[in-house]
Amino acid sequence: MCGGVTRDLLTDELRAFLRENVHSYEELETLLLLYRQREGRWSIDSVAAELRLPDTLAAAALGALQARGWIQSTSAEPEKFWYDAAKVSDETVASLARAYTEARFAVVEVMSANALTRLRSSAIRTFAEAFRLRGPKKNG
């Protein structure tokens, strides 16, 4: 794919959306699955089977997306999930789906860079916390 086409698909808005909102490949795949199959209702098991994920990862991705308000669920058991266009920009998710279909490597590259940035920030915070000045120790 031509670099110019990739740049057109991965707009600054879409890069920001990925950086701020999609923290794992499981979340990405789950969001896109529910978006593309928006008429369906998905259990944790059915998402796990469709995406070939362990149930724990599917459950974590569904939980994260639900916490962001992008998907809804039933209260009945087994819980069923579906995409909720009222809580997320349908246009943004459509752009993400198109980019992931046409320039998957570019999307993965952006997500990998975002993950490294989050990891570095966490490491810096942890390192700084280790050197934070504390008051004198209390005796006894």
* Per-domain residue ranges of the chain: 3-128
Rounded alpha-carbon distances, angstroms, from residue 103 to 19, 63, 89, 95, 97: 17, 27, 20, 11, 10
Reading the block at residue 114, the tokens are: 């975002």
pLDDT, one tens digit per residue, over 62-105 is: 999 999 999 999 988 889 999 987 777 889 899 999 999 998 89
CATH class of 3-128: mainly alpha
DSSP 42: B
pTM: 0.76
Residue 29 CA to residue 120 CA, distance in Å, equals 24
Residue 8 CA to residue 21 CA, distance in Å, equals 20
